[in-house]
Structure 1
Amino acid sequence: MTRAWIDRFRLRHETGMKTVSGKSGSAPVEVTSVWQRNELSILLQECSAENIFNADESGLFYKCLPNRTLAKKKEKSALDKKFQRTASQF
């Protein structure tokens, strides 16, 4: 994966780096369900099956989380949500 590819992806999906801050508790199920139905399905349509990975069994650095994340540019901040705490880094 090249830096240019990542830059084009970020421009195409209007994302930017945000610093994770604050504690917001759990994300409402309704919000995540809407995101999965709308946003995730659009992202997955653009990816071929060979480029989709299931990393839930890897356990690599699962507690070593970054303090920055990708988020939509329209969002004011990236809040520290519980579902972000068990992310994997590659």
Structure 2
Amino acid sequence: MPAALILDLMLPGLDGLELCRAVRAFSDVPILICSARVEELDRLLGLELGADDYVCKPFSPRELVARVKALLRRAQGRLAPVSWVPAA
């Protein structure tokens, strides 16, 4: 299983939003959509269908790296074992 998925919505022969929904149906892998679709409706739909973040093109490589690092940090927190001792 990949640590994260960077998904471009403009895929030849594929609907990127449908792919996002399909991946989310069976996996909790962090999904970052990067797309030239910049309208608010597109961003909201991507997030609603399961993306954890959405970045609009053009973006800098540094911004992309920072966003992926943030996704991985949050995913580690979700997946890390929790040690909990009930109060006596």
Q: Give TM-score, length-normalised by structure 2.
A: 0.23
Q: Which has the larger radius of gyration?
A: 2
Higher helix share: 2
Higher relative contact order (CA 8 A, sep 6+): 1
Q: Give TM-score, length-normalised by structure 1.
A: 0.23
